[in-house]
Amino acid sequence: MTNHWVDIKNADLVIIMGGNAAEAHVCGFKWVVEAKEKRGAKLVVVDPRFNRSAAVSDYYAPIRSGTDIAFLGGVINFLVTNDKIHHDYVKNYTDSTFLVHEGFSFEDGIFSGYNAEKRSYDKSTWNYQLGADGYVLTDPTMESPNCVFQQMKKHYSRYTPDVVSNITGTPKDRFLHICEMIAATAAANKTMTILYALGWTQHSVGSQNIRTMAMIQLLLGNMGMAGGGINALRGHSNVQGITDMCLLTTNLPGYMTLPNEKEQDFTAYLAKRSPKPLRPNQMSYWQNYPKFHVSLMKAWYGKAATKENNFCFDWLPKFDKGYDVLHMFERMHNGQMNGFIAQGFNPLAAVPNTKKVADALAQLKFLVVIDPLATDTSEFWRPAGEFNEVDPAKVQTTVFRLPAACFAEEEGSYTNSGRVLQWHWKSADPIGESKSDGDIVASLFVKLRELYAKDGGAFPEPILNLNWAYKHADEPSPEELAKEFNGKALVDLVDPKDPTKVLVKAGEQVPSFAFLRDDGSTSCGNWLYSGSWTQAGNMMARRDTSDPSGLGQTLNWGFAWPVNRRILYNRASADLAGKPWDKSRTVIAWDGQKWGGNDVPDFKGNEPPENGMGPFIMNPEGVARLFALGRMAEGPFSEHYEPFESPLEVNPMHPNNPLARTNPAARVFKGDMEQFGTAKDFPYVATTYRLAEHYHFWTKNVPLNAIVQPEQFVEIGEELAKEKGIVAGDKVVVRSNRGKIKAVAVVTKRIRGLDVAGKKVHTIGIPLHWGFVGVAKPGYLTNKLTPYVGDANVQTPEFKAFLVNIEKA
Amino acid sequence: MALQSLDIKQRSATTTPSPSERQTVEVAKLIDTTRCIGCKACQVACMEWNDIRDEIGSVDGTYNNPTDLTSASWTVMRFYEKENSSPFDLEWLIRKDGCMHCADPGCLKACPAPGAIVQYANGIVDFHQENCIGCGYCITGCPFNVPRISKKDSKAYKCTLCSDRVAVGMEPACVKTCPTGAIMFGSKEQMTEQAEHRIGELKGRGHGKAGLYDPAGVGGTHVMYVLKDADDPTQIGLPASPTISALVSVWKGFAKPLATLAMAGVALGSLFHYVTKGPNEVSKEIEDEIEKEDAQ
């Protein structure tokens, strides 16, 4: 979330799209209720199903799964055509006036630079025009056809209400009504918040779904505002934490990046990540990258990391490609992996195409499962009738189950969706032989290090020299780890302006990442978390609910990254002169000398507004990007592409260009393309989701959850049910080209056939949870049905839109 | 809410006067159906606090689960789908079902077992299973079809409004757990005020028919609902104007002396039955008897 949970209450309009907050984020949904009651906010829900969020909404519109970009592109077109944008904001806080590279083009669904064979783009034209001084060229009148605003206007002008309705199936009147509600928040003192989750990410165009809404929020001037922002609701209590710590295989903690195989030179590696400002007097905060990176390497390698050896740069892996989960299982499936550690992860249930995953696991020599529960993955070899058809004689894998402690059996930090780190305390000892995840991994490491020391190995240095200065090598305490990620001074840090003044003494915790240095004099495990455990103690353990502004900022509750800032980009909540756009919801303001208010300024604290520094300090432009440059895999603007399994034979936006039917930059492995089904055999759109009564696959082990939602079911509309002779309570079989499941039919008014491109498209809703392990009634793993393809940028699988058929069992 | 006395205001099949010296505030639970998302956290909290576990059942083609109130499910969510003027103008009405804790409780009136059903001075209607004879009259007496007889012990069970929690100044478990604040608890007066506030907000949002469900036919209830459309409570599964069954009035009126006579016979008979066949048979006997009574 750019904002945070409590801040939802400050919104005038709450949009839930690509998520179902009432279902999947039951507790946080209270802030939506609060916004409605206290501010009179309106709630709009756009979803293929009239879901639990819709049940308490003010307005609902259906949408065909996988067509969000068409809907949102239509919103952009509506806002621009009807001049419902926040002009001062768009002109000054975005790149709308910037001139785009003359070679940039977009023809029939494909941007300039496409290589069909490699399914990827040469992005050199996805750029701004630069002057001789290295600064970007602009047209403040925004009239040049080459400026970002005009390019954007032209790009989305194709998304007329009729085109949108034709693709999405959303009735035109409902689409336009929502456009008008959204447009009302273009007023400087009105805000809209958007709550999304996996309903946007789990598509082959997932990242672009989110980006399109980010553009809308910029056009409306809602970024940085209380009650605004782009708010990803995370599905597990600490999944934001794992993301911050380095979720993607090509990342380092704190969203730093690993070098790729071509980046063997340390100086060039750092320079590329420390961009010079693209306009005069911009902060371009990533210029501090070397300080964060070197401090990370000092945390990892201690004394072994020296200036002379480039702080062990050579020891970092240099990636050839991303080793995301789809890629991992593809390699496992091809027999290219020997072992696999599944920690807090149930891939047999959670990865698409269960058959492929099961076949892959059977080829491993060993599988280690670290989990508090017996998972389906740990028993993938066990036949369980129709629910797990496997021949154990054909499985050679040795499975080790290492029982892990449950969250309440250890202390540590949680980072919630709103980037707030909260310390939690242990309430019971781990049961039996179980240990905390940290202790298990530490013990494994210590053993491996012993083996490397004894037997050597191909490349022992990074293992043998890893800084492991914990009191108990097998059991690093959460406190030690937390202090490590905050960072400390390794020598006395003196004021550069006054060398007699010591800012931080050697060995002390640094107060924030502003004290980190690139000369090896500081260490820090994750610069974003710096400030969470300072010399003053554990900031994450603070529990002060004081809220002087009434906005719910509670700056002394826990610690929010970065530097306890609750609303990101909050400089943009004030106008050019530093006055809040909405005084009643002041986040920060300029008082003539400094920035201050109800949050930690996301800006240089004493920078006068008249000097023209932009509010988006992480970008070298100083402004936000409507034009994404080369940062996205499939284009600087978003475009509607059909899901890989679509009921339509062509993309209605580009009926004559098969290359642009589906995401042209998405990766598809050999063999998986052939496993995609077609509408001829599988005429219905399916979408998977979880239920409020359950927690992912875990609560199969909990009787209470099984009691309140006991049996596997699928949801279908009344019209389709009638066509198929299915009545509520019947057993049905749902098939995709990869597998089948059997379940009870819930027949409902809440899912209806939609009129799409001249045909009726029906949707089948498929909740997940069931499997063959646990106390709940056994059921089928839903991912027996889902396709093995992901988002082109981060490879999140397309669980939300695929094709199935249904019949009475 | 301060500590509550558990003074008994009414007691089934009892004529001795009730204590009335201590001043106890009348309590109420207010369920705002317009804020309810049907997450069933209240069902789980109810099972946990009261140490009851229903069976892992099956799906009947809806989200209702367990599909009905049982002796181990004292509250269940009921989902109702409604289509308005156009196909996508939908409503998914969700109601937490359970005991309404009527001011004039039909169950208590109907109950022939002394002290099996009591009404505390704070308004809570509670079943005391140790006194229950499993006759099921409370079911006949209830205008909301709430009590259920256990298959294990042939006793009647229902929501206690967490009388144990309320007695020590706590809110019922469902109220505490409700993540959206759709279930509220306080004095009946406070809850009525709160309801007015909520109804005002709903009317301002265009729901002109919003209103409070606190039916006069049972003397008002200690569980009240805020409804989006109070003109027609039946669309969310509530009786439009609930009253105590005529059968119970008959039973309490001229038929009572006859029935008492019959009950004495039954009680005697039941003793033999209990010894020889066990409790299930007894309740069946009694049911037959009441049917005979009803026919008169």
B255-283 per-position pLDDT tens digit: 555 555 655 655 555 555 555 555 444 45
* The token pair that represents A159 in the structure block: 């998304």
B55 to chain A nearest CA, in Å? 6
Residue B55 and residue A707: Cβ atoms within 8 Å? yes
The residue among A34, A64, A707, A744 with the most chain B CBs within 10 A of its CB, best to mutate, is: A707
Residue pair A224/A572 in contact by the 8 Å Cβ criterion: yes
Strand A42-46 and strand A59-61: the pairing is parallel
Residue A50 and residue B61: Cβ atoms within 8 Å? no
Give me the residue from B65, B88, B179 closest to A708, CB to CB: B65
Q: Is the Cβ of A25 closer than 8 Å to some Cβ of chain B? A: no
Mean pLDDT of chain B: 89
Q: Average pLDDT of B137-145?
A: 97
Q: Is the pLDDT of residue A10 over 90?
A: yes
How would you class B276 by CB atoms within 10 Å of its CB: exposed for 0-12, middle for 13-18, buried for 19 or more?
exposed
Q: Is the pLDDT of residue A193 over 60?
A: yes
Q: Is the pLDDT of residue A387 over 90?
A: yes
Q: Is the pLDDT of residue A744 over 70?
A: yes
Share of chain A above pLDDT 90, in %: 99
Distance between CA atoms of residues B109 and B6, nearest Å: 20
Per residue in A688-742, pLDDT (tens digit) is 999 999 999 999 999 999 999 999 999 999 999 999 999 999 999 999 999 999 9
Q: What are the residue boundaries of the structural domains of chain B, listed by start?
A: 4-244, 254-295
Give me the residue from A30, A709, A713 closest to B180, CB to CB: A30
B30 three-state secondary structure? strand
- Give the alpha-carbon dihedral of A497, A501, A506, A507, to 10 degrees: -100
Residue pair A726/A745 in contact by the 8 Å Cβ criterion: yes
Residue A692 and residue B94: Cβ atoms within 8 Å? no
The residue among B39, B89, B228 with the most chain A CBs within 10 A of its CB, best to mutate, is: B39
In the prediction, which pLDDT does B287 show?
A: 57
Strand order in the sheet with B223-227: B183-187, B27-32, B223-227, B211-213
Question: For residue A417, which of A235, A198, A598 has the smallest C-alpha distance?
Answer: A235
Distance between CA atoms of residues A701 and A573, nearest Å: 46
Residue B81 and residue A749: Cβ atoms within 8 Å? yes
Residue B88 and residue A745: Cβ atoms within 8 Å? no
Per residue in A602-615, pLDDT (tens digit) is 999 999 999 999 99
* Residue in A with minimal Cα distance to B93: A55
Question: For residue A593, which of A581, A605, A585 has the smallest C-alpha distance?
Answer: A605
Residue pair B31/B226 in contact by the 8 Å Cβ criterion: yes
Q: What are the CA-CA distances from residue A76 to residues A217, A661, B155, B285 (Å)?
A: 10, 22, 63, 72
In the prediction, which pLDDT does B281 show?
A: 46
Helices and strands (H, E) in chain B, number of each type: 9, 11
In the prediction, which pLDDT does B251 show?
A: 63
Full DSSP string of A298-341: HHHHGGG--TTTGGGGGGS--BSS---HHHHHHHHHTT--SEEE
Distance between CA atoms of residues A29 and A14, nearest Å: 11
Q: Is the Cβ of A14 closer than 8 Å to some Cβ of chain B? A: no
A234 three-state secondary structure? coil
A635 three-state secondary structure? coil
Q: Is the Cβ of A705 closer than 8 Å to some Cβ of chain B? A: yes
In the prediction, which pLDDT does B271 show?
A: 54
Q: Is the Cβ of A709 closer than 8 Å to some Cβ of chain B? A: yes
B135 to chain A nearest CA, in Å? 28
B81 contacts on A by Cβ (under 8 Å) = 748-750
- In three-state form (DSSP H/G/I as H, E/B as E, the rest C), the secondary structure along A69-108 is HHHHHHHHHHHHHCCCCCHHHHHHHECCCEEECCCCCEEC
Residue A55 and residue B56: Cβ atoms within 8 Å? no
Give me the residue from B41, B56, B180 closest to A706, CB to CB: B56
Residue A52 and residue B38: Cβ atoms within 8 Å? yes
Residue A744 and residue B92: Cβ atoms within 8 Å? no
In the prediction, which pLDDT does B5 show?
A: 76
B255 to chain A nearest CA, in Å? 43
Classify domain B4-244 at the CATH class level. Answer: alpha beta
Per residue in A282-332, pLDDT (tens digit) is 999 999 999 999 999 999 999 999 999 999 999 999 999 989 999 999 999
Beta strands in A77-225 (DSSP E): 106-107, 110-111, 114-115, 120-121, 192-196
Residue pair A789/A711 in contact by the 8 Å Cβ criterion: no
Interface of chain B toward chain A, CB-CB under 8 angstroms: 34-41, 43-44, 47-48, 53-63, 65-66, 73, 81-83, 87-88, 90-94, 179-182, 198, 201, 204-205
* Residue in B with minimal Cα distance to A751: B88
Backbone phi, then psi, for A237, in 5-degree steps? -65, -25
Q: Is the Cβ of A61 closer than 8 Å to some Cβ of chain B? A: yes
In the prediction, which pLDDT does B23 show?
A: 84
In the prediction, which pLDDT does B282 show?
A: 45
Strand A537-538 and strand A533-534: the pairing is antiparallel
A353 to chain B nearest CA, in Å? 26
Cβ neighbors of A335 (< 8 A, separation 6 or more) are: A363
**ipTM (interface pTM):** 0.95
Residue pair A567/A449 in contact by the 8 Å Cβ criterion: no
Per residue in A328-370, pLDDT (tens digit) is 999 999 999 999 999 999 999 999 999 999 999 999 999 999 9
Distance between CA atoms of residues A335 and A364, nearest Å: 8
Q: What angle do CA A21, A26, A32 make, to 5 degrees?
A: 60
In the prediction, which pLDDT does B296 show?
A: 46
Residue pair A790/A797 in contact by the 8 Å Cβ criterion: yes
B65 contacts on A by Cβ (under 8 Å) = 693, 707-710
Q: Average pLDDT of B112-139?
A: 97
Distance between CA atoms of residues A627 and A604, nearest Å: 25
Distance between CA atoms of residues A79 and A192, nearest Å: 14
Backbone phi, then psi, for A129, in 5-degree steps? -85, 130
Strand A684-689 and strand A763-767: the pairing is parallel
Backbone phi, then psi, for A301, in 5-degree steps? -115, 0
According to DSSP, the residues that pair with A401 across neighbouring strands are A369
Give me the residue from B60, B88, B91 closest to A174, CB to CB: B88
Residue pair A103/A58 in contact by the 8 Å Cβ criterion: no
Give me the residue from B47, B63, B93 closest to A704, CB to CB: B47
Residue A60 and residue B54: Cβ atoms within 8 Å? no
In the prediction, which pLDDT does B245 show?
A: 81
In the prediction, which pLDDT does B293 show?
A: 54
Composition of chain A by helix, strand, coil, percent to 5:
30, 20, 50
Per residue in B68-90, pLDDT (tens digit) is 999 999 999 999 999 998 889 99
Distance between CA atoms of residues A377 and A346, nearest Å: 5
In the prediction, which pLDDT does B224 show?
A: 98
Show which of residues 664-703 on chain A sit within 8 Å of chain B, judged by CB atoms: 692-693, 703
Distance between CA atoms of residues A72 and A63, nearest Å: 11
Q: What are the CA-CA distances from residue A735 to residues A581, A671, A741, A782, B137 (Å)?
A: 53, 19, 7, 11, 50
A667 — pLDDT class (breaks 50, 70, 90): very high
B161 to chain A nearest CA, in Å? 20
Per residue in A412-440, pLDDT (tens digit) is 999 999 999 999 999 999 999 999 999 99
Residue pair A644/A678 in contact by the 8 Å Cβ criterion: no
Distance between CA atoms of residues A183 and A664, nearest Å: 32
